[in-house]
A = this chain, B = another copy of it.
């Protein structure tokens, strides 16, 4: 594992050198998404959309601003957020009658409308999502993609006839997450957060955590079961078959730009970042190796291959800058382009292109008449190998411990009796956080690591970002 300090220094430098973000914007914690970073984020968004559309969610877009009085309807929720919201108090020269806040998340914007939209059980389930930026006044040190004050965010909000149907939605969300993680080459753990750490207003919260190379976990997203906690204050009711008015049960599923932060943190080497082919803004870069004799032969062939790959739907770039090939390699390796094509006069004579994999550095050759298929296979191999390697590293950083003094960087698995007191003692003794009870992991008999009581409950414990 890497030390936090060394890793942080590397991270802060690489995200700017790779052209993903610019933090020189004159407000701390609000960075500019530069072209390369924004393209990567938009490709991640595209997968999100695909999964949500395929499961019958409707994309919507709610206003950014929320009136103070609507925000205050759910008490726990406002307590959870009131220290970190931005307030709009004036417009033009006027003081507003009711202050407006910038959405930190959209429950309190959406639910007054849901109350109007839902009349009968025929309107249920209501499944919506939006991809927007949210705003949180962070007081801790900010860091690109990981701790920001303006955060790119997707949030799915659903309403159901009862608790069981909401539970089915949560099961569907876990499936969506599984598919997404495969596309993104992103190992993760799911934990049902302890009560003292659940989302403001939630009945329960499942955290989606990524394990970073420092042994700390990063919460990339979360899934919440709200039960009737919001539908009661916001009066979201439907008429059931018997003509009775019932409160809906609600869930949310949110993930942020931290996904990109986790990707960069997990897939990299001394040369720079490594982007999984599915989300790389440029999947393939073509570098002409120009020789003195007949340079246009190489240039023409490169352009031909570029057109061929573009036509086939790959995201490809031809780097025809007047620079040495080695300098170009350096740039594109830094930016994590998964596959490089080198093409010189000798390759043309041999009727092949040379390809170099960003993840392994392996070079191989593909005959001209098999370029599309050969490139497709290489990208698939990179995609698959990146996930396998990351998953192995991830799995190796999860340890079972039976004595609290054994806790170390990574995810510590231990038995817990279920009492909040013992949980908080674990946190104090380890200076770590209880991530919660792992989801989809078999319980295991043992003794509470604090009080020794026999129990089957396991918890994950780690330092967090």
Contacts and interface: CB of A to CB of B under 8 A. Distances in A.
B63 A34 contact: no
A64 B38 CA distance: 15
Nearest to A113: B32
16 contacts: A24-B116, A25-B62, A25-B113, A26-B70, A26-B112, A27-B65, A27-B100, A30-B63, A33-B60, A35-B58, A35-B59, A65-B150, A83-B92, A86-B91, A87-B88, A92-B139
A152 B38 CA distance: 18
Contact of A60 (B35, B65, B133, B139): B35
A154 to B, nearest CB: 14
Contact of A32 (B31, B60, B150): B60
Contacts of A90: 86-87, 89
Residue of A26, A42, A102, A116 most packed against chain B (CB within 10 A) = A26
A70 B90 CA distance: 18
A22 interface: yes
Interface residues of A, number: 51
Contacts of A62: 25, 32-33
Contacts of A4: none
A318 to B, nearest CB: 14
- 5 interchain residue pairs of minimum CB distance: A35-B58, A33-B61, A91-B137, A30-B63, A87-B90
A92 B88 contact: no
A78 interface: no
Given A35-B58, A58-B35, A83-B93, A27 B63 contact: yes
A300 interface: no
A128 interface: yes
A22 B88 CA distance: 23
Contacts of A83: 92-93
Given A58-B35, A64-B133, A65-B150, A88 B91 contact: no
A308 interface: no
